[in-house]
Amino acid sequence: MSPSTAIQTFRAIDVIRKKRDSIELSQAEIEYFIDAYTRGEIPDYQVSAWLMAVLLRGMTRAETAALTDAMLHSGEVLDLSGLPARKVDKHSTGGVGDKTSLVLAPLVAAAGVAVPMISGRGLGHTGGTLDKLESIPGFNVNLPVAEFRRVLESCGCAMIGQTAEIAPADRKLYALRDVTGTVESPYLICASIMSKKLAEGIDALVLDVKTGSGAFMKNENDAAFLAELMVETGERMGKRVLALITDMDQPLGNMIGNALEVVEVVDVLRGGGPQDLRELCLELAAWMLHLGGASKTVAEGRRRSAELIASGKALEKFRQMIELQAGDPRVNDDLKRLPQAQKITDVLSPKAGYLASIQCEQIGTACVILGGGRERKEDSVDPSVGIVLHKKVGDRIAKAESIASIHYNSEPRAERARQLIVESCAIADTPPTAKRLLIHKIIGRSAESN
């Protein structure tokens, strides 16, 4: 149905009433509603009532797919069919210390699978890929679409921020959800994520859905529900989609803070880095390679990824991408070229024992307090500050041993961060009973055949 026909046929009030009364909306009704809202023909106050009805009544899978599709087509959908390689992306629901995107884009591109990655900024306690990239001197995340395509063609990966042309309905809806208590609906979260990702013109998508104290979804069942919803929505729209439910009960890796996270990314690409981060990157890369047709099995994808790191090809790809996006590629060899905080101080353990748990969201908040994140969209970010954890959950710890180092530029901020870190680390006499698995569950049809 063309938009002009739809406008004559439907009324916003009927779409609201139907959703209120749990009557399934047709694809045409949802298309009309999103299209007319994007064009300013339906006022915010009608849409916010509808959003609340969606939050409280839910949506069917068909409605969720229709909403995603309508939001996707509210703006430009990149046509990357000119690129011979398959296009695969990864999306994470966000957490603390999650820098996998920076590892995955060059690693997967090195295997011949194209990665056209459009990312976001950090907000609240979670970090953002764009902020991390911008800690690399000169790195430009604001490329026009034509330039994005050129970088992608040259080196197989490119990483930019959302442009005004991509899914404008999502931007408008997100701003409204933020002030009307309608952020938390899994259906709306799914449509928001999937519409933006599918606008990249990709063939397949790997979703990293975080769960735990540092994640948006604190509860594993909620995370699994969202994951299944996104997988089914993507599959209904003809894409290969797979989701991993992964742990965010403690920060991923050891470093939190923009430039510090780039350091850890280079460590991983050099074949080192902390075990949990490295493991998750290999697992996600393996699935991206598999869905991108570069490996017959996931096991083969895992081997291939490890080889590309060992051979230095992944790091070389990272250098290429930095250079093509106007960044200083020398950071790869000389990490001191990244912004450095003026001072470093240690957070000492008040007693001996085992690190029993970390309130992960608090660690993210401590980084924001240091200046490494933003509480409001308008805030600027200090790329140099952050936290380096020396202990992870389950580790033994001596009295007055350093739990973490704080990289800071302001004494009072460092003191507040220290207090938060101390409060968020529980030290017990005995080790925690069971260490949580990094990867909880894999969801998607492709998972079953592997």
Distance CA 98, CA 126 (A): 8
437 binds a second copy (CB under 8 A): no
Residue 126: partners with Cβ closer than 8 Å, 6 or more residues away: 94, 95, 96, 98, 214, 216, 364, 373
- CB nearer to a second copy: pick between 51 and 315: 51
23 binds a second copy (CB under 8 A): no
Tokens of 427: 């030290």
Distance CA 141, CA 162 (A): 9
Stretch that binds a second copy, among 11-19, 117-125, 149-157, 340-348 (CB under 8 A): 11-19
188 binds a second copy (CB under 8 A): no
30 binds a second copy (CB under 8 A): no
Decide if 95 contacts 215 (C-beta within 8 A): yes
CA dihedral 364, 365, 366, 368 (to 10 degrees): 90
Q: Report the residue from 25, 36, 51, 420 that binds a second copy according to the rule CB under 8 A.
A: 51
222 binds a second copy (CB under 8 A): no
17 binds a second copy (CB under 8 A): yes
174 binds a second copy (CB under 8 A): no
Distance CA 62, CA 13 (A): 21
Distance CA 298, CA 231 (A): 18
164 CB neighbour count, 10 Å cutoff: 8
Stretch that binds a second copy, among 172-180, 311-319, 327-335, 426-434 (CB under 8 A): 172-180
Distance CA 16, CA 52 (A): 10
179 binds a second copy (CB under 8 A): yes
Distance CA 114, CA 292 (A): 8
- CB nearer to a second copy: pick between 14 and 333: 14
Q: Report the residue from 182, 233, 295, 405 that binds a second copy according to the rule CB under 8 A.
A: 182
User: Which of the following is catalytic: 99, 132, 149, 177?
Assistant: 177
Tokens of 384: 């140099």
Angle between the N-to-C axes of helices 258-269 and 100-110, in degrees from 0 to 180, rounded to the nearest 10: 30
13 binds a second copy (CB under 8 A): yes
Q: Report the residue from 30, 36, 49, 286 that binds a second copy according to the rule CB under 8 A.
A: 49
- CB nearer to a second copy: pick between 7 and 422: 7
Distance CA 229, CA 206 (A): 13
Q: Report the residue from 3, 138, 144, 181 that binds a second copy according to the rule CB under 8 A.
A: 181
Q: Report the residue from 7, 20, 26, 306 that binds a second copy according to the rule CB under 8 A.
A: 20
306 binds a second copy (CB under 8 A): no
**Which is nearest to 273 in space by CA: 393, 71, 281?**
281
Provide the minimum distance between the beta carbon of 81 and a second copy in the complex, in angstroms, as a whole number. Answer: 39
User: Which of the following is catalytic: 69, 98, 170, 382?
Assistant: 170
Q: Report the residue from 25, 30, 36, 55 that binds a second copy according to the rule CB under 8 A.
A: 55
Distances (CA, A) of 278 to 101, 301, 416: 12, 14, 31
Provide the minimum distance between the beta carbon of 43 and a second copy in the complex, in angstroms, as a whole number. Answer: 8
Provide the minimum distance between the beta carbon of 429 and a second copy in the complex, in angstroms, as a whole number. Answer: 38
Active-site annotation holds for 196: yes
Q: Report the residue from 26, 27, 28, 44 that binds a second copy according to the rule CB under 8 A.
A: 44
DSSP, res 249: S
Provide the minimum distance between the beta carbon of 237 and a second copy in the complex, in angstroms, as a whole number. Answer: 28
Distance CA 189, CA 116 (A): 21
400 binds a second copy (CB under 8 A): no
- CB nearer to a second copy: pick between 50 and 139: 50
User: Which of the following is catalytic: 192, 295, 305, 424?
Assistant: 192
Distance CA 124, CA 381 (A): 12
Stretch that binds a second copy, among 10-18, 195-203, 403-411, 430-438 (CB under 8 A): 10-18
**CA 260 remoteness from chain centre:** 18
Please count the residues of this chain forming the interface with a second copy, following the rule CB under 8 A: 24
Dmax (CA) of the chain: 73
Active-site annotation holds for 192: yes
Residue 391: partners with Cβ closer than 8 Å, 6 or more residues away: 355, 397, 401, 403, 404, 425
Q: Report the residue from 5, 9, 41, 56 that binds a second copy according to the rule CB under 8 A.
A: 56
DSSP, res 162: P
46 binds a second copy (CB under 8 A): yes
**CA 97 remoteness from chain centre:** 11
Stretch that binds a second copy, among 15-23, 214-222, 238-246, 361-369 (CB under 8 A): 15-23
- Residues comprising the chain, all counted: 450
Provide the minimum distance between the beta carbon of 84 and a second copy in the complex, in angstroms, as a whole number. Answer: 46
Active-site annotation holds for 170: yes
**CA 139 remoteness from chain centre:** 19
Residues at the interface with a second copy (CB under 8 A): 12-13, 16-17, 20, 43-53, 55-57, 176, 179-182
Active site residues: 91, 170, 177, 192, 196
